[in-house]
Structure 1
């Protein structure tokens, strides 16, 4: 199967999240919020991968919808880490920007796929 843009972007985002988590837990000794971020941030790409191997158009939409929710949850955890001053504005933006890019792509794919389904 050829590499999809969303597959590539969501995997790259997961790598960013894993690397952030590894450094963050060492530097800040914070394990609860960061674990939530790790789970949701890596789940985005895992669900995209499942969507790319979907058995039907509806299954594809369903899996991407889960990925969309996980991406939005990841942004929530980033906002919480920022607002509670665990991360700086610079760190927040560095993590939020790729999350927003992935979220926008996922939403666009879902909208386009649904419109073709009508």
Structure 2
């Protein structure tokens, strides 16, 4: 009786090993086939003039930033780089630092 249980367990393990190997081989074949079918297109490197640079920014910094952005995003063109206004950030910061109870009406706990 115990030997039958051990034999049955070994059969189940053997079947699961065979199925696992077959699935792994099937996945490997599918990956290799889709890799051959989907040939990547050559990347078009954008060419053109450099956008105007603001005062105080060196050409080397613009070149380094442009290269880093190109590496991260791919072949996209940066049209304009300017400093942004931080007016909205100051208002939000002030709203977060108020110590008055909100409109919930629950008050302090």
Task: Please give the TM-score of this superposition, normalised by the length of structure 2.
Answer: 0.24
Q: Which has the higher contact order (CA 8 A, sep 6+)?
A: 1
Task: Please give the TM-score of this superposition, normalised by the length of structure 1.
Answer: 0.22
Normalized per residue, the structure richer in helix is 1
